[in-house]
Amino acid sequence: MGYSSDIGNLEFELVGAKTLERWLIKPGKTMSIVLGIPRERAQDERRVAISPPGVQILVEQGIKVLIEREAGHFCNFTDLDYANAGAVVAATPEELYEQSNVIVKVSPPQPEELSLFMPGQMLISALHLGTVSQHLIKTLLEKNITALGFEFIETRDGELPIVRTLSEIAGSLAIQTAAKYLETGYGGSGILLGGIAGVPPAHVTIIGAGTVGLFAAQDALGLGAQVTVIDKEINRLRRFEAFFNRHLVTAIANDHYIAQLAKMSDVMIGALSPKQKISKPLVSEQVVKSMKPGSVIIDVSIDQGACFATSRHTSHTNPIYVKHGVTHYCVPNIPSAVAKTASFALTNTLLPFLLKLTDHETISDILWKSHSLRKGTYIFKGYVTKKILAELTDFQFREIDMLLAAS
Catalytic site positions:
128, 303
Residue type, 313: H
Between CA 141 and CA 90 the distance in angstroms is 26
List alpha helices for 43-157, DSSP H.
52-60, 79-84, 93-99, 134-142
Q: Which helix (H) or strand (E) holds 241?
A: helix 234-243
Q: Which of 53, 102, 97 is nearest to 75 (CA)?
A: 53
CA distances from 19 to 8, 23, 390 (A): 17, 6, 48
Contact residues for 238 (Cβ-Cβ < 8 A; gap 6+):
none
Q: Check residue 51 and give left, alpha or beta (phi > 0: left; psi -120 to 50: alpha).
A: beta
Are the C-beta atoms of residues 125 and 106 closer than 8 Å to each other? Answer: yes
Could you tell me the strand order of the sheet in which 296-299 lies? 249-252, 226-231, 203-207, 267-270, 296-299, 326-329, 320-323
Between CA 117 and CA 144 the distance in angstroms is 10
Contact residues for 259 (Cβ-Cβ < 8 A; gap 6+):
287, 290
Q: Which of 352, 369, 351 is nearest to 360 (CA)?
A: 369
Residue type, 199: V
Between CA 87 and CA 81 the distance in angstroms is 9
**Which residues pair with residue 308 across a beta bridge?**
283
